[in-house]
Chains A and B, each alone.
Chain A
Amino acid sequence: MSEPLSYLGVPLARPKVGFFELSSCEGCQLQLLNNEATLLDFLNLVEIVNFREGMSERGDNYDIAFVEGSVTRKDEIARLTAIRKHAKILVALGSCACFGGVNQLKNRFRDLEWVKKEVYDDFPIETMEVHPLADFVQVDLEIFGCPIKKEEVERIVTDLVLGKTVRHPEYPVCMECKANENICLFELGEPCLGPITRAGCDAWCTSNRRGCWGCRGPAEGANLKQLEEIMRTYGFARETILDRLECFGGFASFADTLRPKAKKSPVTQKATAGRKKS
C-alpha cells in the first residue's frame, strides 16, 4: 500500500488479519469501518485478508483473527475451532465474544425450549445456551465493549504490531466519568455500574447521563460487594442491580451470588410474564 514501515530502525511486518463473526449484530466490525478519519492509517498497519463487512475477497492465511459474537450453535463451535487453527493470535472482539454479551440474556430463562418457541415460533432454529469464545478455544486477547471503542482497538492493534504489551485500563468507568466532570448519576437517581466496570470507553454513556450497564465487564479491583451496599443506600432495589449485572454477562459470578438474595428472581418473573401472554 505504501512504503514499508519501521520502528526505531527495525522493519515492521504488516500482519495479515481476518475478521469473523459468530452470533452477533456485527456492530463491532462496523465500528472499525465507521471512523473514516483514521481508517487509512489503521489499514496501513495491517493487511486484511478476510473482512466480510468491508471487502469481497476471502483468505485463510491470517496471523491475527478478530472474532466477534458469541457461540450459540453447534456449527459455530466448528467454525471457531477452525479459525483458532489458522490464527497465531485469536482476539475476542466485543462483549459477546468476551462474556456472551446481550445474547447471553437468553441464559436467564430456565426453559430454553420456551424461548425458542417465543422467538422463532414455527420456524425453529437449532440453538443452544450462549457461550463466550473462551469456553471452547484459547483466547489470547480480549477487547471489551458493546460496541467496542474504535480508538481503543486502534491503540491495541498498534501495540500488537509494534510488539508492545497490550494493557487495558485497571480503573473503573467512574474515574473516566469524573475526569469528564460529570455529576454522579446516583445523585440524579439513575442506577449505574460505573464504579465497578472496566474503563476505556471514556465514560461514553454516563457522560450522556445514562447509567452504565457494565458492557466492559468488571474492572481490575472491582469492589462488587460494596457497590451493592452503596446502591441500596441510594434506594436502588437488588433486582435493579441484578438486571444491569446480567445484561452483558461480564459479572456472571457476582450475579450468581446476588440472585438468590433478590426478592423475586427476575428469571422466573419474566418467564411467567411471557407465558401468560402466549
Chain B
Amino acid sequence: MVHTAATDSHLLKKDHLKGFLRKLAKEYRLVAPVRNRHGDVLFTVIDDLDAAEIELSEPPQNSLKQFFLPQQEQLSTYTVTPEGYDFHPVQATIPPTIYFGVHPCDLSAVLYMDVVFSRRQRDPFYLRRRHGSVLIGVNCNSPSPNCFCNATGSGPFLEMGSDLQLTDLGDRFLVETGRAPGQALIERWQGFFSPSADKDRAAHYQAFLEARGRFSRQVHVEQAIRQLEADTVEEKIWQELSLRCQDCGGCAYLCPTCTCFTISDQRLDAASGRRLRSWDACTFAGFTAMAGDHNPVQAKTAAIRQRFTHKLRDDVRLNGRPSCVGCGRCVSICFGGTDIVRFVERVCQGSL
C-alpha cells in the first residue's frame, strides 16, 4: 500500500531541517520530542530551538494526549449566590501549534481522539486545542522492543492523517504531503525542498519493508478481538490479570487513546470555586460510582474486562479498528504486568 502512494512527495535535506523548523517556530508554537537532561525523550514545547535536542529515532515517553486533553483543565469558574450558582466560562486562546516528529502510533491516536470528541457531541475544549494544529509525522524506521503497531494497523509507516509525513532516508527526509495545511507549508517555504526522484521513493519503500521486519514481538491482536467478539475469553484470564492490577492508572494516563475524564468542582472559598476536568481511568475503583454511593461495577475483574473489551472489541464495532495503537507505553509502565500485550498473549495461549 505504501509504495503506491500517489501523494505529492519532496525531499528535505537533514541539514535544512533546523532552518525549516526555525521558520515554523516564528509563526507557530512548536512541539517536538526533545531529550531532556535526564535522558528521557518527551514531547515538549520548544522555546529555544538551538538548545533543544530533538530526537526522532526513539519514541517519546508521553503522547500528544496531554496537549489536546490536559491532565487537568479548568472549564469554568463559579460564584455562589443566595439564588444558586453562577458559572463563568474560562476564555483561553490556544496558539496555533505545529506538532513535529509525531510517530504513526501517536498520529493514529490523535485521529481516534478527533472521532471521540466530535462524534455525538462536539467538545469545545478539545476542539479549540485541535483547531489550528498542524501534525508533521515521522515514520518509524526501527520500532522499539515494546512496539506492536504492526498488529493494530497504525504503523510503522502511515500515509494519511498527517499534514506532512517524513521518512528518514539517511541524509535526507522524503516528505509526503497530506492535508492542505501541510501543502501550504511546502509552498510557503519551497526553498527548503527539492523534488523527489524514483530512487527516493524506492528507498522509502525499502525502509518500510525493513521497518516491518524489525518488530521484536508478534502480538496477535486480531485473534484477541475475534475471541472477545465470540465471547470465548476464559473467566480465569480476567481474574488472573485483575489480581495483578494495583489500580495505579498508569496505563490509562500514558495511553494515547484513553480519553475518559471526570469533572469535579473545587471550592476556592465559601463563595466561589472552579470546575475542573481531569483524566480518569476505568480501572479505578470509584470510576463507576454514582450519587448515593451505588457502584454497579463492583468486582475488579469487571473493570479490567471493561478496559480491554473497549479497546479491542467495542471500538472495532464502532470505528472499524481497535483504539489500541500499539505504542507499547502501557507495557513499560505496568509493573504488575496487566498490560494489553499480556492480555492478548494470555488469550492466545488459552486457545492453543
Contacts and interface: CB of A to CB of B under 8 A. Distances in A.
Report if A and B associate in a common complex: yes
Given A8-B80, A175-B284, A230 B244 contact: yes
B235 interface: no
Contact of A174 (B80, B244, B250, B300): B250
Interface string B47-71: 0000000000000001000000001
Contact of B247 (A45, A175, A184, A234): A175
Q: For chain A, which range describes its interface: under 10, 10 to 19, 20 to 34, or 35 or more residues?
A: 35 or more
Interface in A28-48: 41, 45
A171 B244 contact: no
A221 B247 contact: yes
A132 B214 CA distance: 59
A9 B81 CA distance: 7
A220 interface: yes
B268 to A, nearest CB: 9
A226 interface: yes
23 contacts: A8-B80, A9-B83, A12-B270, A45-B270, A162-B270, A170-B284, A170-B285, A171-B248, A171-B249, A171-B284, A171-B285, A171-B286, A174-B250, A175-B249, A175-B250, A178-B253, A196-B246, A220-B286, A221-B300, A223-B244, A223-B245, A230-B246, A234-B335
Interface residues of B, number: 30
Nearest to A158: B267
A226 B243 CA distance: 7
A181 interface: yes
A227 B285 CA distance: 17
Contacts of A219: 247
A172 B283 CA distance: 12
B338 to A, nearest CB: 10
B253 A171 contact: no
Contacts of A41: 269
Contacts of A174: 246-250
A179 interface: yes
Interface string A160-199: 0010000000111011011101011011000000111000
Given A172-B248, A196-B246, A219-B247, A7 B269 contact: no
B296 interface: no
A162 B80 CA distance: 13
The 10 residue pairs across chains A and B that have the minimum distance between CB atoms: A174-B248, A9-B82, A195-B246, A178-B250, A175-B249, A221-B285, A170-B286, A186-B335, A178-B253, A170-B285
B62 A178 contact: no
